Structure 1
Amino acid sequence: MYGIKHKLIISVTGLLLAALLVFAAIQFTNVSASESITEGEARELIKDRYQGEILNVKKVNSTYLIEMKKEEAFYQIKLSENGGEILSFEKKEQIPNGEQKQLDEEKIKEIIRAEESGELLSLKRVTHKEKSAFEAIVQKDEEKIKITVDALNGEILFRAADEAEVPVRNLTEEEAIQIAQKNEPGEVDDISFEETDSGSYYLVEIEKDDGREAAVQIHAITGTVMSVTWDD
């Protein structure tokens, strides 16, 4: 009789212990599943899982709204703050520009420095062909260069010399002489620089082998031969 009671006590004790272990496991699972994750953890979780480019992350109540780009396609993902559960995964045709995260000025400066060496004189936000962009002016040697960069993806949208800032340069005397001698071979006797209301020019006098002298008039900016006159 004693043996039966002893076995019964052991059995009941075992069942109670097993029940306690099951209850503890359930509680532990619930706690782990409901553990909150940070925005950085949410970003890394989606990036690691889907191997895409995270464009933007924002939190609404206890849900992270994540915008992702992968292979030229856009996706919007809803992720629970509690445990990191994926609530929805939708492909979007295009994410509106206002919702995409724009590059900051430091990243834009890095892109500009990689594109063009020189001193960055100015950087401002502009709209280029209906796109949000940054416009930079870079000083390189004696030239100022205007560079326009897409604010969303860093693409170079426009690059050219800033003509409004580049001063007009006259030809040097050596350049004018080369042009004159190419047009009328001979020995240079004299060169003069003249300025008029209609523009400036060089007058190069060349002594020819036959004794004649040619006066070659050359536009001081374009290098065009304007006229050739002869002094017998």
Structure 2
Amino acid sequence: MKKKLVIAGFVLLLAAILVFAAIQFTNVSASESITEGEARELIKDRYQGEIQNLKKVNSNYMIEMKKGEALYEIMLSENGGDILSFEKKEQDSIGKQKQLDEEKIKKIIRAEEPGEVLSMKKVTHKEKSAFEAIVQKDEDKIKITVDAQTGEVVFRYTEEVKSPVKNLTEEEAIQIALKSEPGEVDDISFEESERGSYYLVEIEKDDGREAAVEIHAITGEVLSVSWDD
């Protein structure tokens, strides 16, 4: 009986020790867990670099750090702050994205403005590399500038192609020209100049000469008459 009591007491003591150890282990683990802010400070203090990105992956921190012109990827344990891995990333990842090629840029442009891409060239927009394209859409020409790295449309301008202003019809212009210079109309064309738009009516006279009569396209005024012998 005494022996059984001794064994029971030993078992209880062992159980108490295990429970105590488990509690202590849990407390120690909890006390060693570090926050994101602590992870940032730890890496900055240890490597004197600039933290570009930090995210939690399972029970670890994945950290991108820039130092000089190089970019490093660091895996840091949440429990204890141990460095699990330290790798230098490829040069293309150092704060710079690879530039999109022309075909991808054209796809972006066509998605934004369906039409015919008349021209495309590389430009600098606000100190960044970009592509500038001219797109023909119906009667309008649209200038689009696309960021060469992100594919973002950073500038768009629509140049409306306006039809020349003319109030007179060709028939009305012909009648005015014939009143000025009777004969047979050989040809008529619509012209534009710094003076404005006008009709040029060519009239063959009975004497074999040819008169070129300029008729203002809006007012109907006879602007000039010239002769071709």
Same fold (TM over 0.5): no
Taking structure 1 as the reference length, the TM-score comes to 0.40
In the superposition, the TM-score normalised over structure 2's length comes to: 0.41
Larger Rg: 2
